[in-house]
A and B are shown apart, each in its own frame.
Chain A
Amino acid sequence: GENVEQHPSTLSVQEGDSAVIKCTYSDSASNYFPWYKQELGKRPQLIIDIRSNVGEKKDQRIAVTLNKTAKHFSLHITETQPEDSAVYFCAAYNNNDMRFGAGTRLTVKP
């Protein structure tokens, strides 16, 4: 089955800096890659997603890149703000099976 690895597990940045979170997946048939943000005690919320026929997608300060050959995808957050502090999960989807990374705890220091 699919295996998703996520790095780093924790990330601390200064407000205004960029943050990058990387994930790798094992199943080349995976075709959908969402990113979720989970604030403490709250439900995961989708922030951006990308499908396998696209290499990059951007939404304001958030962008995701996908390298199908290398089987890795990354989340980029620019101009970070304290409210970006949360746990971020990547996921890879194939054939009704969504596998999540272990999460990255992002702290943005004011």
Chain B
Amino acid sequence: GAGVSQSPSNKVTEKGKDVELRCDPISGHTALYWYRQSLGQGLEFLIYFQGNSAPDKSGLPSDRFSAERTGGSVSTLTIQRTQQEDSAVYLCASSRAGGAETQYFGPGTRLLVL
């Protein structure tokens, strides 16, 4: 079946602009995660959605970052007033359920803030 998809694959923006990144999880997966991966670095947890529960936002680095998940499926990660240090690959992952389940990653969105 179809895997996790993300769009856009690449995004170049100017400092100060807002950006929206989209994630389509695997159909039927109730858990959705956003991670950030800076060049040559590991994955940094940002936010977690489980079904209709309130998201775990503990990883969001600042109040410029927000995310929502409409209808328990598609998720958007919004970064307001982008800064150069926001440049990274943003990865989305979904799993069948919350808890210790295998996470399947999307291809990522490569964000470059000039």
Contact = CB atoms under 8 A, between A and B. Distances in A.
Interface string B23-64: 000000000010100000111110010100000101000000
Given A96-B50, A98-B33, A31 B42 contact: no
Contacts of B106: 43
Interface string A30-61: 01101010000011111001010000000000
Nearest to B108: A43
A100 B105 CA distance: 14
Nearest to A43: B105
Interface string B70-114: 000000000000000000000100000011101111111000000
Contact of B56 (A31, A43, A96, A101): A96
Interface residues of B, number: 22
Contacts of B99: 96
B105 A45 contact: yes
A42 B91 CA distance: 11
Contacts of B44: 100
A91 to B, nearest CB: 8
Given A89-B43, A96-B50, A103-B42, A32 B100 contact: yes
Nearest to B98: A96
A103 B107 contact: no
Nearest to B55: A96
Contacts of A36: 105
Given A96-B50, A98-B33, A31 B100 contact: yes
A103 B100 contact: no
A76 to B, nearest CB: 20
Interface of A: 6, 31-32, 34, 36, 42-46, 49, 51, 89, 91, 93, 96-103
